[in-house]
Amino acid sequence: MRHAKKKSRKKYLWLISLVIAAICFFVWKNNFNSNRMPSNYHADQVDLNVKAAVAINAKDGSTIYAKNANQSLPIASMTKLLTVYLTLQAIKEKKISWDTTVTPTQEIVDLGSNPDYASVPLRLGQKYTVRELYDAALIKSANNAARLLAIAVSGSKTNFLNQMRQQARKWKLNNAKFVTVDGLPEKKTNFLGMTTTVENKMSANDMAIVARKLITNYPEILNTTKLARAYFQNTLMTNSNKMLNGLSYYDSTFPVDGLKTGTTDGAGSCFTCTVNKNGKRVITVILGAENDNERFVETKKLLSYCFN
């Protein structure tokens, strides 16, 4: 009888140990991602009205500030930073060149006629260079340009999506989920006939890693992301990053030279920003601001904290 009681006690101790281990893992997972970046760090130092945010030192990747930074959230058009990274990688590997041309499909042409989506005018049967599409994707946030870039790089959207997922796994971005190459939401119908909207998701930390990889490996991207305006053939494009020199939220205190905004109903207003000041480059990410202007106001608060 005593032997049975001892066995029962050992069993309960084992179960308790298992529960404690599970709780410890859960706490660890929610406070650190696989890149050992904290979910919250000095979060009480800046009162940001956003769902999640992070600021890192671009040189070494160290965290300056983090708020819910490991929470997976919709990222909208900031997806295009990874699209562009894979494009630059393909150019570096000589799989394509800046002068490589590609012709849009009917679907991509039709996308450009939707007034709800950022786009540039693309015509069926006309060829466009990778350079033109790259500029349009970054400056205008043109969704049709991003889709055409994907075809230029990988032959199809499906192949490119697989490439995006592989790159995310390589960088250990465990909060990343991709359903489109441009960041637009996609409608899915389940077996019950119910339609739901799905979006690309990443954490603020994940997004900061992508931005840092871009700036480190392909610093030439800043020559494009710093442009407030540029032409796509005869169409004037105005950058949606209003913190650039010449646009409404520019502040000479923080000489912003990139990178990318993003907006959908599900994502709210998002912004990945970078500033090089006094020899220190900082990358900030804002997810889920209340509106497009608010994301710049909140970014400025974060930059003030980073540089003061």
pLDDT of 48 reads: 97
For every residue of 172-241, DSSP letters joined together read T-TT-B-S-SS---EEEE-TTS-EEEE--EE-HHHHHHHHHHHHHH-GGGHHHHT-SEEEETTEEEE-S-
Known binding site: residues? 260
Structurally, the chain folds into a number of domains equal to 1
One-letter amino acid at 210 equals V
The C-alpha atoms of residue 68 and residue 287 are separated, in whole angstroms, by 10
User: Which two three-digit tokens encode residue 210?
Assistant: 């992508």
* Catalytic entry in 80, 140, 226, 242: 80
Domain annotation covers residue 273: yes
Give the mean model confidence (pLDDT) for residues 283-300: 98
Identify whether 17 is part of a domain. Answer: no
Q: 75 lies in which domain range?
A: 33-307
Binding-site sequence positions for substrate? 260
CATH code (residue 235): 3.40.710.10
Q: Catalytic: 77?
A: yes
Cβ atoms of residues 229 and 94 within 8 Å: no
Report if residue 9 sits inside a domain: no
The residue from 39, 51, 67, 77 that is catalytic is: 77
pLDDT of residue 221: 98
Cα–Cα distance, 304 to 54 (Å, whole number): 13
DSSP code of residue 138: I
Number of Cβ atoms within 10 Å of the Cβ of 236: 9
Instruction: Inform me whether the pLDDT recorded for 27 exceeds 60.
Output: no
Residue 20 domain flag: no
Q: Is position 8 within any domain?
A: no
For 193-224, the pLDDT digits (tens) are: 788 899 999 999 999 999 999 999 999 999 99
Q: Does residue 83 lie in a domain region?
A: yes
Tell me, yes or no, whether 3 lies in a domain: no
Q: Is 156 assigned a catalytic role?
A: no
Model confidence pLDDT, tens digit, residues 122-157: 999 999 999 999 999 999 999 999 999 999 999 999
Determine whether 252 is an active site residue: no
Summarised one tens digit per residue, pLDDT across range 269-281 is 999 999 999 999 9
Alpha-carbon dihedral sign for residues 224, 58, 211, 44: negative
Catalytic residue, chosen from 141, 154, 203, 269, is: 141
Q: Is residue 19 part of a domain?
A: no
pTM of the prediction?
0.88
In Å, the largest CA–CA distance within the chain is: 90
